[in-house]
Amino acid sequence: DADVTQTPRNRITKTGKRIMLECSQTKGHDRMYWYRQDPGLGLRLIYYSFDVKDINKGEISDGYSVSRQAQAKFSLSLESAIPNQTALYFCATSDLSRSEQFFGPGTRLTVL
Amino acid sequence: GQQVMQIPQYQHVQEGEDFTTYCNSSTTLSNIQWYKQRPGGHPVFLIQLVKSGEVKKQKRLTFQFGEAKKNSSLHITATQTTDVGTYFCAGPSSGTYKYIFGTGTRLKVLA
């Protein structure tokens, strides 16, 4: 969905490097989410935010941090990347009245 | 913690055959959502079911929510190559607005 954008789309980095993945949305939604996808494991929630002042840990937050800079922007950081953080990362949004989520195109991250 | 499981993990069918994926939650759900992810793409919302025993149809797709609101199914009649992808169910975590996604069923349709 073009209304939710993620940058970069692909990234290769080395163990120990700090990485930031960015998500922007023009849908005007308050709720934003970060997921990682691994083969056979589905989508697992890393962090979620229901408004600018609200940040919550998901199922697998260890090794990650987030920043909600504005209603439209939600960034995910890996302070010191490790190989098992190699995955496909998705940002998603939803609004207060409807819970369906709109996903960005994803960022494929490889940690060597 | 709450778990949402899907079976099968993979399914290969001949074009024209039917396909069903099943979703089971460890807890009762207030609603359940289904998403489709095409190869190389991102998940796209298909539908949400809310009522016990609810059945909804979208063309060749039939979605059911179990009477106990702990399980759901997606049935595709006469599959087409355009049905290829991974289908996920998702249910809200108890008392929150965050959703727990199932492990997904990857469908391949052989022409």
Q: So what's the pLDDT on residue B95? A: 73
| Closest-CA distance of chain A to residue B53, Å | 20
Q: So what's the pLDDT on residue A82? A: 97
Q: What average pLDDT does this structure show over B79-86? A: 97
Strands A31-38, B105-110: parallel, antiparallel or unpaired by DSSP? unpaired
Q: Which residues of chain B have a CB within 8 Å of the CB of A103? A: 42-44
Helix (H) or strand (E) holding B96: none
CA dihedral sign of residues A108, A111, B4, B5: positive
- What is the mean pLDDT, run by run of 10 residues, along chain A of 112 residues? 89 97 96 93 93 92 96 96 97 89 97 96
Q: Which residues of chain B have a CB within 8 Å of the CB of A90? A: 42-43
> Which of B1, B31, B101 is nearest residue A43 as measured by Cβ atoms?
B101
Q: So what's the pLDDT on residue B97? A: 74
B88/A43 CB distance under 8 A: yes
Q: So what's the pLDDT on residue B26? A: 92
* Whether the Cβ atoms of residue B23 and residue B4 lie closer than 8 Å to each other: yes
One-letter amino acid identity for A87? A
Q: Mean pLDDT, chain A, as a whole number?
A: 94
| Closest-CA distance of chain A to residue B105, Å | 9
